[in-house]
Amino acid sequence: MSLLSSWSPALRGLITLVVLGLSSLCGAVPTAGELNLYTTREPALIDPLLKAFGERTGVKVNTVFLKDGLAERVASEGRRSPADVLMAVDFGNLTDLVDKGVTQSIKSPVLEQTIAAPLRDAGGHWFALSLRARTLYVARELDAKAVTYDELADAKWKGKVCIRSGQHPYNTALIAHMIAKQGEARAEQWLRGLKANLAQKPGGGDRDVARDILGGICDIGLANSYYLGLMRSGAGGPDQQKWGEGIHALLPVFAGGGTHVNVSGAAVAKYAPNKANAIKLLEFLVSDEAQAIYAEANYEYPVNGKARLNPIIAALGALTVDEVPLAEISKHRKAASLLVDKVGFDL
């Protein structure tokens, strides 16, 4: 554990403020034609979006990139915070912003009409901007056509499943979704069955699942959809391209339901000095133009159904997002994490 990671979230947020030398923003007077964006997303994805926004609207965006501690940073700034828009990955982080009281409710017919209700806060505090599905990577020789999340606990997969840590947010979100749909007792039964089917101790990353299937360690595993695009496109190098092309990918569903997705999203900060421009940015980010950038730059699913998918992701077939609201799933994330420990999933 690094020294920085051993500090409290609030202290990390304060240190980040000093290191970035941006304290001069605090107490900034609202300026027409500008807004301040705090984001944990990578500059390579965000910069093209903001460039297009600036060209269309003339609004200048001042961006603060953070690795973590977003909610703590804004909370520590309080009423003096210059933040207008807060952008993060993972719906757990978005609901955390609300829980810490650093967002405000907004009304926008554009956002409400473009983003399906399960993918945004019912009170208007946050909105999904892009999606990534929890997919199955499968050995090509199996010629599998359809496997549900539930079936991963079936004994026919004993010794054949690879997966990263159960405590990783990608997996706790899926387990929380299972709890929301079927109850904690059923989720525990499923998780014990999945553990019994593991080919090796959980670990590594999603792309390692494809590598290990190709290496004959396992036959099937869970991984996010956008990694398929990153691998098959060659963006991660020739080895990863070989892994991506060496496996088959499926869009699983829950029994009687749809596919589990996680999101990137954004909220308007509680004390946003440029609220009108903040809403304008969020509305731009769900436009056909911006959604196409999400799809091409990071192989994510658009939340705007009219936007075009990247061909690698489109080849997975039609995505049917499960109907349980992300805000409801988020309530079960702590229980999901405790369940991972209870069954000794990572041991």
Tokens matching residue 34: 């500008």
Cα 67 to Cα 46: distance, rounded to the nearest angstrom: 14
The verdict on whether residue 227 carries a ligand-binding annotation is yes
Cα–Cα nearest to 147, from 128, 159, 165, 134? 134
Q: Is 226 annotated as a binding residue?
A: yes
Question: Kind and range of the H or E element at 242?
Answer: helix 238-245
Widest Cα–Cα separation across the chain:
63
Annotated binding site: 226-227
Annotated binding site for Fe cation: 226-227
